[in-house]
Amino acid sequence: MISRRRAVLALNALVLAAGLTGIATAAGAQTAKPITMRIAHALPETHGYSLWLADFKKELDTLAQGRVDVQVFPNAQLGKETEYLEGMKLGAIDGAVMGRHGQIDPRLDVLNLPMIYRDEAHVSAVLHRDGPVREKVDAIMLEKGFKVLGWGELGFRNITTKTGPVAKASDLKGIVIRVPNVEPWLAAFRAWGANPTPMDFSELYSALQQGVVTAQENPPELIYTSKFYEVQKFLSLTQHANIPSQFVVSKAYWDKLPDDLKPIVLKAARASQDRQVAATRAANAKLVADLEKAGMTVVRNVDKESFRAGAEVSWKAFEAKYGGDLIKAIQDTK
């Protein structure tokens, strides 16, 4: 009888100990310090980049149950886009939303080639769904030390000018226009007769205001949120290119994430990517009318085909340097 009682007491003690251990483990998991993810971008808080990252943060909070503390630093608080790549390598920031893939590897300038995309559906087929092009460009990024969480969109780009409209490519002759420091673009704008001048986006408004450059090109959302309508008169809907943006973290940061957390981060990133693309396209469609209301003269009747010959100059230069495989892969994507 005594031995049986002792056995029961021992069993109860084991059950109690196991329960306490489980409670302690659960409490420990709940109170564990979240992993910080510091993400920078250079655009205003009103821009879609901020909305994209806010959506990602909300999605990840739900899926990861608070295990990751996403901290967003907009409006170039942590430096210019040109400084983010080095910042990630040094661990000063963990990731960024930007459009610097061509600086990460010049082969990725294929995504920037003028006139390379047929329409929005083609862009999505190339970059927003799994396929051979996305697989290849993601692999190149990882090889260079950056893990792609998502490919976003700024939208098709249009030219704004101070002195006159651009209804055809030859209207660009002699115009000093700011463009990103993307070699295929420099080649194309030179072929169109312009004087392309690279500079960081954060310096663009003051450069337009002071007349350092008299024209620029960007999607409607950037033109509106950056208030370029205050210093530019004409908006010409050239839709000559579509530079994708990317949400990346450093490979070093990615490698340190717990393995069970990585698919959760990717799931949240893909969901927020898809919503960012849809929201950006809707915003750009509306903002053309808003820019018109703000005083810009919108030139809708643009001879887009007149830009093709100059665009193909940049294609040939790119193909000679890096090969035509990716160009063909993009063109073949349905």
What does the pLDDT average to over 216-220?
96
CATH for 270: 3.40.190.170
- The pLDDT mean for the chain works out to 90
Domain presence at residue 26 = no
Q: For residue 249, list its beta bridge partners.
A: 95, 147
Count CA atoms within 13 Å of residue 47 on its CB side.
24
What does the pLDDT average to over 188-193?
96
Tokens of 125: 């087929």
Same domain, residue pair 99 and 199: no
* pLDDT tens-digit series, residues 91-119: 999 999 999 999 999 999 999 999 999 99
Give the chain's radius of gyration (CA, Å): 25
What does the pLDDT average to over 114-130?
95
Q: How far is CA 80 from CA 73, 84, 201, 203, 249, in A?
A: 12, 7, 8, 10, 16
Please report which helix (H) or strand (E) contains residue 198, including its range.
strand 195-198
Domain count, the chain: 2
Same domain, residue pair 193 and 295: yes
Other CB atoms within a 10 A radius of the CB of residue 28 amount to: 9
pLDDT of residue 183: 83
**pTM here?**
0.82
Domain presence at residue 206 = yes
High-pLDDT (> 70) share of the chain, %: 91
Beta sheet of 234-236, edge-to-edge order: 195-198, 176-179, 215-218, 158-161, 234-236, 297-299
Count CA atoms within 13 Å of residue 69 on its CB side.
5
Q: How far is CA 263 from CA 57, 253, 259, in A?
A: 15, 15, 8
Nearest to 114 by CA among 328, 313, 288, 298: 313
Measured at the CA of 158, the angle between CA 153 and CA 164, to 5 degrees, comes to 165
* pLDDT tens-digit series, residues 40-85: 999 888 888 999 999 999 999 999 999 999 999 999 999 988 899 9
In this predicted structure, the answer to whether residue 10 has a pLDDT above a threshold of 50 is no
In this predicted structure, the answer to whether residue 255 has a pLDDT above a threshold of 70 is yes
Nearest to 191 by CA among 240, 234, 261: 240
pLDDT of residue 44: 86
The confidence band for 31, taking pLDDT boundaries of 50, 70 and 90, is: low
Q: What is the distance between the alpha carbons of residues 231 and 215, in angstroms, rounded to a whole number?
A: 10
Instruction: Say if residues 63 and 269 touch (Cβ distance below 8 Å).
Output: no
Question: What is the span of the domain harbouring residue 98?
Answer: 34-153+244-285
* pLDDT tens-digit series, residues 279-317: 999 999 999 999 999 999 999 999 999 999 999 999 998
Domain presence at residue 6 = no
Domain presence at residue 3 = no
Instruction: Say if residues 61 and 34 touch (Cβ distance below 8 Å).
Output: no
Same domain, residue pair 268 and 303: no
Domain presence at residue 235 = yes
The secondary structure of 5-47 as a DSSP string is: HHHHHHHHHHHHHHHHHHHHHHHHHHHSPPEEEEEE--S-TTS
pLDDT of residue 182: 80
Q: At what angle do helices 48-64 and 262-293 cross, to 10 degrees?
A: 150
Same domain, residue pair 90 and 233: no
Same domain, residue pair 79 and 178: no
pLDDT of residue 18: 40
Q: Is 226 exposed, middle or buried (0-12, 13-18, 19+ CB in 10 A)?
A: buried
Measured at the CA of 116, the angle between CA 120 and CA 137, to 5 degrees, comes to 85
Same domain, residue pair 263 and 187: no
